[in-house]
């Protein structure tokens, strides 16, 4: 084939220049976006590395025993993470037990049964709750919620249920409005708008024809949600729940205000406790030497807990998709 018969023969030089420029632009754009992704990974590895480096003395001294030691003696430098781990997991668990059903109900109402004229305003109001700073939730919890919670929930509940066998111990302790349960309820207020907003958005992406087909077959609203909406949006719903759980696990100021900040294992839902984040907030400013290393170790454990939770969520999604044959 001669040069005059090549595929580029007869192509105007201006067209060739445009094509060459577009290839260069695509290559630059690809490398730029790739560098952004790698930057996040490098930052993550840097955070992990700095935490491990500073926490090394603590892990070297205590080893894996650090996870289930309940001591927290700053003077004698005897530390354990069990108290903070229990407070973190229990308060976040209580928050999700309260927030997820409420968020599901809110999202279901907004997408399925809410009048059209009310949807935008009500949805915007719920999303605005996510913009409230955490310290405001903490102040609300300490000065408004805690007194009401003590007088109108803790006292009557302890009076009625505190003496029962098997479950009575859950409602023992001082009724001052602070403690693990109070922290969990404040966290529920905080994560509710995040979970509800994500659920509402994923419910809205369900093709209308699927809903209409189900209603045409005689399904009720609950049957449409259970058999059409939830299977279609399963991944997004789990993602919203994990987003809320991540916020609950790492929340600092709001929990610090209402959890009680007591370095002892809680013996009931009303008992004061502490979390990893609140311990860091309370003690990091005055910590030094080995105490500071211990706080870095707690920070690393918080990262590990969050990573494990997200990994379990990913595994759950993959197993669900495999079960559906996707």
Residue 257 has pLDDT above 90, yes or no: yes
Count CA within 13 A, CB hemisphere, residue 103. 33
Task: Give the C-alpha separation, 213 to 216, whole Å.
Answer: 5
Beta bridge partners of residue 320, listed in sequence order: none
Is residue 26 located within the same domain as residue 154?
no
Task: Give the C-alpha separation, 251 to 64, whole Å.
Answer: 25
Report the predicted TM-score, pTM, of the whole model to 2 decimal places: 0.85
- 261-319 pLDDT, tens per residue? 888 888 899 999 999 999 998 888 887 889 999 999 999 999 999 888 888 877 877 77
Task: Give the C-alpha separation, 89 to 243, whole Å.
Answer: 15
Q: Would you place residue 321 in the very low, low, confident or very high pLDDT band (cuts 50, 70, 90)? A: low
Full residue range of the structural domain in which residue 40 is found = 10-59
Q: Would you place residue 232 in the very low, low, confident or very high pLDDT band (cuts 50, 70, 90)? A: confident
Q: What single string gives the DSSP state of each residue in 68-108? A: T---EETTTTEE-SHHHHHHHHHHHHHHHHHHHHHHHHHHH
- 140-156 pLDDT, tens per residue? 999 999 999 999 999 99
Is residue 15 located within the same domain as residue 134?
no
Is residue 29 located within the same domain as residue 78?
no
Establish if 1 belongs to a structural domain: no
Is residue 54 located within the same domain as residue 194?
no
Establish if 18 belongs to a structural domain: yes
Is residue 104 located within the same domain as residue 197?
yes
CATH code, domain carrying 171: 1.10.3720.10
Question: pLDDT over 70 for what percent of the chain?
Answer: 94
Q: What is the average per-residue pLDDT within 58-73? A: 89
Is residue 85 located within the same domain as residue 160?
yes
Cβ atoms of 195 and 243 closer than 8 Å: yes
Q: Would you place residue 178 in the very low, low, confident or very high pLDDT band (cuts 50, 70, 90)? A: very high
Is residue 21 located within the same domain as residue 80?
no
Least confident of 8-17, 179-188, 249-258: 8-17
**Could you give the C-alpha distances from 47 to 41, 53, 201, in angstroms and in order?**
10, 10, 32
Alpha helices for the chain (secondary structure H): 13-62, 82-108, 116-129, 134-140, 146-149, 155-161, 180-204, 208-216, 221-224, 230-232, 234-250, 253-258, 276-283, 289-323
In sequence order, the 6+-apart residues with CB closer than 8 A to the CB of 282 are: 256, 261, 274
Is residue 124 located within the same domain as residue 163?
yes
Is residue 238 located within the same domain as residue 155?
yes
Angle CA(146)–CA(152)–CA(155) in degrees, nearest 5?
90
Establish if 3 belongs to a structural domain: no
Is residue 129 located within the same domain as residue 180?
yes
Q: From the centroid of its chain, how far is CA 251?
A: 9
Is residue 26 located within the same domain as residue 133?
no
Is residue 176 located within the same domain as residue 217?
yes
Q: Say how many domains are in the chain.
A: 2
Task: Give the C-alpha separation, 239 to 230, whole Å.
Answer: 13
Q: At what angle do helices 234-250 and 180-204 cross, to 10 degrees?
A: 150
């Amino acid at each position: 084939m001669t040069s005059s018969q090549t595929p580029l023969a007869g192509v105007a030089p201006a067209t060739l220049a445009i094509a060459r420029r577009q290839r260069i632009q695509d290559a630059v754009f690809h490398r730029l976006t790739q560098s952004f992704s790698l930057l996040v990974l490098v930052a993550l590895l840097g955070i992990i590395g700095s935490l491990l480096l500073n926490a090394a003395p603590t892990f070297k001294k205590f080893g894996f025993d650090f996870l289930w030691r309940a001591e927290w003696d700053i003077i004698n430098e005897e530390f354990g993470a069990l108290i903070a781990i229990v407070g973190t997991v229990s308060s976040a668990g209580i928050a999700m037990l309260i927030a997820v059903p409420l968020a599901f109900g809110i999202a279901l109402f907004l997408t399925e049964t809410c009048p059209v004229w009310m949807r935008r305003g009500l949805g915007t109001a719920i999303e605005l709750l996510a913009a409230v700073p955490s310290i405001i939730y903490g102040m609300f919890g300490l000065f408004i919620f805690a007194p009401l919670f003590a007088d109108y929930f803790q006292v009557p509940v302890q009076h009625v249920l505190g003496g029962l066998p098997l479950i009575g111990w859950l409602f023992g302790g001082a009724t001052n409005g602070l403690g693990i349960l109070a922290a969990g309820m404040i966290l529920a207020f905080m994560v509710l708008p995040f979970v509800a907003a994500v659920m509402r958005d994923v419910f809205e992406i369900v093709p209308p024809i699927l809903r209409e087909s189900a209603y045409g077959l005689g399904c009720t609203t609950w049957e449409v949600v259970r058999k059409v909406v939830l299977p279609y949006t399963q991944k997004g719903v789990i993602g919203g729940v994990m987003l809320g759980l991540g916020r609950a696990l790492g929340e600092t100021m709001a929990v610090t205000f209402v959890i009680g900040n007591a370095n002892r294992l809680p013996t009931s839902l009303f008992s004061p406790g502490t979390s990893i984040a609140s311990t860091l907030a309370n003690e990091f400013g005055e910590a030094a030497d080995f105490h500071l290393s211990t706080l870095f170790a707690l920070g690393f454990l918080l990262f590990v807990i969050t990573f494990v939770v997200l990994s379990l969520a990913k595994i759950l999604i993959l197993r669900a998709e495999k079960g559906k044959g996707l």
